[in-house]
Amino acid sequence: MAVSPVVVHSTDAPPNPRSLSSPLKTVTSAQASSNGTPVVSTAAPNVVAAAQATSLDLAEQLNEEEKRKYVKGKKLGEGTYANVYLGFLKSDPTKLVAIKKIKIQKEYTEGMAPDAVREIKHLQELSHPNIITLHSVFSSKNQNLNLVLEYLPLGDLEMLIRDVDRVRYGAADIKAWMGMLTRAVWFCHENFVLHRDIKPNNLLIAADGEVKLADFGLARSFSDPYKLMTANVITRWYRPPELLYGAKHYSGAVDIWSVGLVFAELIIRTPYIAGDTEMRQISLICTAIGTPTEENWPGVTKLPAYTTEGEIHPVRGREYYMSFFGTVGTEGVDLLMKTLILDPKKRITALGMLKHEWWNKDPKPTRKQDLPKKSGGQEKIGADLKRRPGVIDDDKTAKVARKLDFGAAK
């Protein structure tokens, strides 16, 4: 049902006259006591003056320093979560950046939004050619967070996959893109970070063709053995069976499953397992890959949300995959099958993937400067970055947003 949003015109409120006058002028009215008691030791508080104060703490100075390094240019995108601007380095105007200005979330009453905290936390630590670079974070005077991100003007992988009419690519291109994605995921896991939202439109493309993993709004550090995690992560189409079954304790294998489905999608140019509900997603996995059972996945029936419906499908064999995904060759299919193993304990790891023989077979991966490109990416980076990280916009049919319950612990 359509609900018309309540529009609050906060800017229509009359301006606070105090904020327009000199900050120090208004201090005293409260203090002009006429009862003869001399007030000497304290000054009356004046928060407006403090808010406007021109002298800066060291913290504010450091913040200003960061802010002054960049010049903000035209707006690339506008959204409810953030606006994205083109920017450049003041010291070198040829060095472009994307400045993502996160808006204050009125409806989230617990302070800074968790997705912003997660994104900043993890991007501050991860520095790798296949992970979007966070150059800087600063706050503007009105307390908006500004993330200075690498400028990635060529859109995302989803645009290339979908534009079947105009974009052609082959096995060597897929190998190059998969190599970049696998290295990005390997680096995350090597640094004990789970991304938890890998999908084609979170893979942005730099001017030189390098693919970069973005959107760390659902990322988290590896959990200690006794600490539970939420199962409600990863966009449904790319969500592994253990999460659909409600596993609270999982590993890097959840990301590998998503990588496998991106791989499959690159080959067939359409999402491989696209369920419109979680139940449907499970039954599609059962038919496309195989029904999880105690035989192929010991312990699976103990998972909180384990269900099967109808007949048990045996795990699909090599021929089945060859018939759909044969364009990447036998080794390519072998790698794909290992990423889509039902039991997460048996699923290949990111390191295992990098060591796979497929990379050494012909054809050699395309050099990044020769990879297929698509024009009109500038609007796209705006659209990609302004999204609230970790939430899918609903114009992309059926990819219903997973809502995280940030109120509950973990």
**Residues involved in catalysis:** 197
3-state secondary structure the chain: CCCCCCCCCHHHCCCCHHHHCCCCHHHCCCCCCCCCCCCCCCCCCCHHHHHHCCCCCHHHHHHHHHHHCEEEEEEEEECCCEEEEEEEECCEEEEEEEEEEECCCCCCCCCCCHHHHHHHHHHHHCCCCCECCEEEEEECCCCCEEEEEECCCCCEHHHHHHCCCCCCCCHHHHHHHHHHHHHHHHHHHHCCEECCCCCHHHEEECCCCCEEECCCCCCEECCCCCCCCCCCCCCHHHCCHHHHCCCCCCCCHHHHHHHHHHHHHHHHCCCCCCCCCHHHHHHHHHHHCCCCCCCCCCCHHHCCCCCCCCCCCCCCCHHHHHHHHHHHHHHHHHHHHHHCCCCCCCCCCHHHHHCCHHHHCCCCCCCHHHCCCCCCHHHHHHHHHHCCCCCCCCCCCCCCCCCCCCCCCC
Q: List the structure tokens of 150.
A: 């690498």
Alpha-carbon span 239 to 14, nearest angstrom: 49
Distance of CA 125 to the CA centre of its chain: 15
Residues in the chain: 410
